[in-house]
Amino acid sequence: MRNVSPRDPALPGIVSRQRRALGAAAVAGVAGLAFGAGLVQAAEAPASTALATAPADPTEISAVKVDGHRATDVQSAKYTAPLVDTPRSITVISNKIIEQTAATSLQDILRTSPGITFGAGEGGQPLADRPFIRGQASGNNVFVDGIRDSGGQTREVFNLEQVEVIKGPDSVYSGRGSGGGSINLGSKSPKPVSFLRGSLAAGTDANVRGTVDANQALGETAAVRLNLMYTQGDTPGRDSVDFRRWGVAPSLAFGLGTDTQVTASYYHLETEQDPDYGIPLAAKRSWGAAGTDGRTRPADGILDVSPDAYYGLSARDFLKTRADIATLIFNHQIHDDFAVRQAVRYSRSLNDYVVTNPGDGGVAQFVAGDWWMKRGTKTRWNPTTTVAAVTDFSGGFDLGTVENRFNLGIELAREINENATYVVFTRSGSACPAGFTANVTAAGAGDCTRLYAPSSSDSWNGTITRAPAARSVTKSAAIYGFDTIKLSEKLQVNLGGRYDVYKTRGTNVTVTSASGVITGAVFTSVPEAEWDFFNYQVGLVFKPTAASSLYGSYATASTPPTISAGDQNTATGTGTGNLATTLLDPEDTTSAELGAKWTLFADRLALSGALFRTERKNAQIQVAAGVYEQVGEAMVQGVELGISGHVTPRWQVFGGYTYMDSELVRGAYNGVNQGDPLANTPKHSLSLFSTYRVTRKIALGGGAYHVSRSFGGNQGGAGGGVNRVHAPAYSRYDAFASWAINDRIDLQLNVQNLTDERYILRTNGVHHADPAPARQTMLTVNVKY
């Protein structure tokens, strides 16, 4: 066996570690980028450096967290080598970055990681978080503490310790997925030291936010932690789009610092807001016709309305979400080289809304000297319940002179997904003008608004009735194994494999109604569909020095047809047309990656770079009129660069650049979109956040973000047509300043979107585009005890 200490920090699952400083290479040198700046600051600079906060973080001791995890380690023991020696692109965004950037949502956090965009709800997609990683919709690839977080949700950050982004096909780690990558949200957990933190923020657009993070040690080996949050306000630059959220997250741990540790936690979040489907596309109206306003059709395909224009109805529309997650985790160190972890989770989420879709009410008409449109609606009532259990074993052993670090595990899950719509019927509302004929009888009378001057305060009276729900039950089981083989001081091999069985069955429903009254519902049973698939990764790591590495890797992913479109609200796995009764095969994604990681300036600064090529095959496409086959293919290839750490003891930087060349290699026979770049996949994306310690108490900084033009879609038929949609390129800047008043209190000022850039954040290319928030200023008081 290897010669290890009683608490070898190289082994996963250990709950107490030697106190030692860590260099940037150990915590931030990963392909893509990993943000270890907060930890580097703690190891190499006085307490009041970039953040200008005097007291050291009570949850860290000598830059090592007291529960045994380095501040920017990936949580999961599946990663059997330090990130600097893991041959994958992995981004770790620490809590320090979340605090500095004043992030409140998953979208805010992921802005700091280039190569990730967000898609708009529509086309069967929920109004919820829809991240795109390397050109693939990854909304179903979000995890909390290593367990899949199913259901359409809009997530909060108040209980997050860090966010981990694995880029490229990662079914070997996470099972079924989109092939673009996955996101793991690491929750805050109890520590064996007592502390109390609080923050109160106020800003423009009536925004207020308060948080509490209280940890109480219960003796030497137990602790309880409570996180609270309340926030409300308006969305900057969007008329009448208000929100309110509150959350609570208690957790209790026993056995801290011992061989056996048990942690129980609960997370509850509720949100209520005005739902926002953005602004219409140019195809909403005709162009150049006699008697119209003479406007010119925008080249990007997005209607030329004010970015403030909001088409919702305050008297009718709503969006409510709720999430409840209860988790029990058991860790036991059997002996120095062997540990076991058991995690059990029960979760339930609800996504519930009626939203005005400005592109779904029919084509606008020019009547009485103005453009008028009928409001369309999208609705959803979607609760998701999940029970999951994960058991894994990890440790190390030697075979002769060859060192091995391994992880073996079993994962079981059962998910129940219900999905219903609302029958919305308008009895009276904003009248349509005389001569307006487009869709006037749909869902009742009235409900019109001006295309270029909508009013959210229009009157509305009617009924909203929830229809019976479709239901699907999904069961999954998997076994997996990982091993890092150290052949020599210079050469390592990284291997991983996973076998999944994925089953789903359910009931679909067809609803009929008249004048807002449900008159019938026909339920249709969907036979059980089952897939099994094996995925793997293999990587070779060469270490020129102890603080650098060169690597090559190859990985795979599988996407069952029930989630290939990014939404899990149906149990069917069959295709369309001639494949309507055929169980489709999973789509296959493969990726090859070459990368390098190294550090400079005595380990104060970490740099990284990677080349990658990802290919996705087996997508269903139409190969002739009425004929479908699984021969569709898409490709993304590119470059990722990362920087993290200190250029000087006072100057801290972290950020990166991603170049993505994407293409729909083989699509429908009629040429729609074939040869086009993939939607929500810009060629260039850049992020850089930097702080400079002007004095011991004052720090200044900010962020710069650039995203090039992003293709949204093409509804114009072969050859392109006029309905091609693009989100234009944009550059955005944020500002940051902090002042440590004393050892307990500091002030932080954030100005988001400093230059008030009005840009399109995302578009689905079919109905609407979503403007980004305008400029916002927030002043935060942070208190620490």
CATH code: domain of residue 772: 2.40.170.20
Nearest to 89 by CA among 599, 547, 608: 608
pLDDT of residue 45: 35
Q: Which residue has the higher pLDDT, 605 or 718?
A: 605
Give the distance from CA 121 to its chain's centroid: 14
Question: Which pTM does this prediction carry?
Answer: 0.88
Q: Give per-residue burial for 612-636: e unless 16+ CB within 10 Å, then b.
A: bebbbbbbbbbeeeeebbbebbbbb
pLDDT of residue 441: 63
pLDDT of residue 466: 97
pLDDT of residue 604: 83
In the predicted model, is pLDDT for residue 416 greater than 60? Answer: yes
pLDDT band at 308 (very low <50, low <70, confident <90, very high): very high
Q: Which residue has the higher pLDDT, 269 or 114?
A: 269
Task: Encode pLDDT of 63-93 as tens digits.
Answer: 333 333 344 467 888 999 988 899 998 888 8
In the predicted model, is pLDDT for residue 123 greater than 70? Answer: no
Residue 510 lies in a domain: yes
Q: What is the number of structural domains in the chain?
A: 1
Q: Which residues contact 248 (CB under 8 A, 6 or more apart)?
A: 226, 227, 228, 229, 267, 268
Residue 713 lies in a domain: yes
Number of helices (H), then strands (E), belonging to the chain: the values are: 5, 42
Question: Mean pLDDT across the stretch 531-547?
Answer: 95
Q: Which residue has the tokens 């600051």?
A: 41
Tokens of 212: 């509490």
Q: Is 37 helix (H, G, I), strand (E, B) or coil?
A: helix
Question: Mean pLDDT across the stretch 705-712?
Answer: 94
Domain range for residue 610? 24-462+474-784
Task: Encode pLDDT of 611-663 as tens digits.
Answer: 999 999 999 999 999 899 999 999 999 999 988 888 999 998 888 999 999 99
Tokens of 377: 């609606």
Residue 576 lies in a domain: yes
Tokens of 785: 């005890």
pLDDT of residue 433: 87
Question: Using CB atoms within 10 A of its CB, is residue 294 exposed (0-12), middle (13-18) or buried (19+)?
Answer: exposed
**Mean predicted lDDT score pLDDT of the chain:** 85
R_g of the chain computed on alpha carbons: 26
The amino acid at 480: Y
Residue 468 lies in a domain: no
Separation between Cα atoms, residue 95 and residue 116, nearest integer Å: 19
Residue 19 lies in a domain: no
pLDDT of residue 641: 93
Which range has highest mean pLDDT (52-61, 445-454, 530-539)? 530-539
The beta strands (E) that lie in 358-469 are given as 365-367, 370-374, 376-399, 402-419, 422-429, 448-450, 460-466
Q: Which residue has the higher pLDDT, 259 or 139?
A: 259
Task: Encode pLDDT of 181-230 as tens digits.
Answer: 999 999 999 999 999 999 999 999 999 999 999 999 999 999 999 999 99
Q: Which residue has the higher pLDDT, 379 or 75?
A: 379
pLDDT band at 56 (very low <50, low <70, confident <90, very high): very low
Residue 6 lies in a domain: no
pLDDT of residue 129: 81
Separation between Cα atoms, residue 255 and residue 331, nearest integer Å: 9
Separation between Cα atoms, residue 379 and residue 350, nearest integer Å: 13
Answer for the pair 342, 271: CB distance below 8 angstroms, yes or no: no
pLDDT of residue 73: 67
Answer for the pair 292, 256: CB distance below 8 angstroms, yes or no: no
pLDDT of residue 386: 95
- Per DSSP bridges, beta strands 710-714 and 698-707 are unpaired
Lowest mean pLDDT across 297-301, 359-363, 477-481, 532-536: 359-363
pLDDT band at 23 (very low <50, low <70, confident <90, very high): very low
Question: Mean pLDDT across the stretch 361-375?
Answer: 87
Task: Encode pLDDT of 422-447 as tens digits.
Answer: 999 988 888 888 888 876 666 666 78
In the predicted model, is pLDDT for residue 160 greater than 70? Answer: yes
Residue 140 lies in a domain: yes
Residue 5 lies in a domain: no
pLDDT of residue 291: 59
Answer for the pair 203, 185: CB distance below 8 angstroms, yes or no: no
pLDDT of residue 440: 63
Separation between Cα atoms, residue 37 and residue 412, nearest integer Å: 36
In the predicted model, is pLDDT for residue 252 greater than 90? Answer: yes
Q: What strands lie across the sheet with 181-187, from one edge to the other? A: 89-94, 160-167, 181-187, 142-144, 147-148
Give the percent of the chain with pLDDT over 90.
Answer: 61
Lowest mean pLDDT across 64-73, 232-241, 641-650, 772-781: 64-73
pLDDT band at 348 (very low <50, low <70, confident <90, very high): very high
Separation between Cα atoms, residue 711 and residue 691, nearest integer Å: 33
In the predicted model, is pLDDT for residue 42 greater than 50? Answer: no
Q: Give per-residue burial for 538-559: e unless 16+ CB within 10 Å, then b.
A: bbebebeeebbbebebbbbbbb
Q: Which residues contact 192 (CB under 8 A, 6 or more apart)?
A: 66, 67, 217, 220, 221, 222, 223, 256, 257
> Cα separations (Å) of 224 from 191, 217, 331, 634, 666?
8, 7, 17, 48, 55
In the predicted model, is pLDDT for residue 13 greater than 70? Answer: no
Nearest to 249 by CA among 219, 224, 285, 277: 224
Nearest to 614 by CA among 556, 541, 679: 556
In the predicted model, is pLDDT for residue 462 greater than 80? Answer: yes
